[in-house]
């Protein structure tokens, strides 16, 4: 997986993204992923106005600080489909990667590296 999403904070102060191709509008990052994004954007000025969040399978960035998410648990919900929990050592928390991520990949990465840059 090599995915870049433009992420911003909405009027409710949630980290969200839009993707017209998949008809997603203000899709929120929750259950720990919001805290991961807080962590990777803490040194980026005006990050809440918009950053690019990079998700890469097992490979981090040479240029930017990144967090490592290690796969912990897969869950299959009859209506929602596949979703996964990852552990993030940097914030010492289990985080949820929702089923919408499977619009971008069919695989479940065992290690995800995540970092943010200004667009």
Beginning with the edge strand found earlier in the chain, give each strand of the sheet holding 24-28 in spatial order.
24-28, 15-19, 2-9, 51-57, 111-117, 67-77, 81-88, 93-97
- The mean pLDDT values, 10 residues at a time, for the chain of 119 residues are 90 93 91 92 95 87 80 76 85 86 82 91
pLDDT number for residue 107: 81
The HSE-up count of residue 51 (CA atoms within 13 Å, CB side) is 22
Q: Which two tokens stand for residue 37?
A: 């994004």
Q: Could you report the per-residue pLDDT of 42-60, keeping only the tens digit for each?
A: 999 999 999 999 998 887 7
């Amino acid at each position: 997986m090599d995915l870049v999403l433009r992420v911003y904070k909405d009027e409710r102060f949630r980290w969200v993204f839009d993707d017209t191709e998949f008809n997603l509008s203000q899709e929120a990052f929750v259950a720990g992923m919001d805290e991961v994004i807080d962590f990777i954007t803490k040194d980026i000025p005006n990050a809440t106005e918009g950053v690019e969040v990079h998700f890469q399978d097992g490979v981090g960035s040479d240029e930017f600080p990144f967090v490592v998410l290690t796969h912990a648990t897969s869950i299959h919900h009859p209506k929602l489909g596949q979703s996964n929990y990852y552990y993030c050592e940097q914030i010492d928390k289990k985080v949820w990667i929702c089923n919408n991520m499977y619009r971008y990949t069919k695989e479940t990465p065992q290690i995800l590296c995540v970092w943010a840059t200004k667009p």
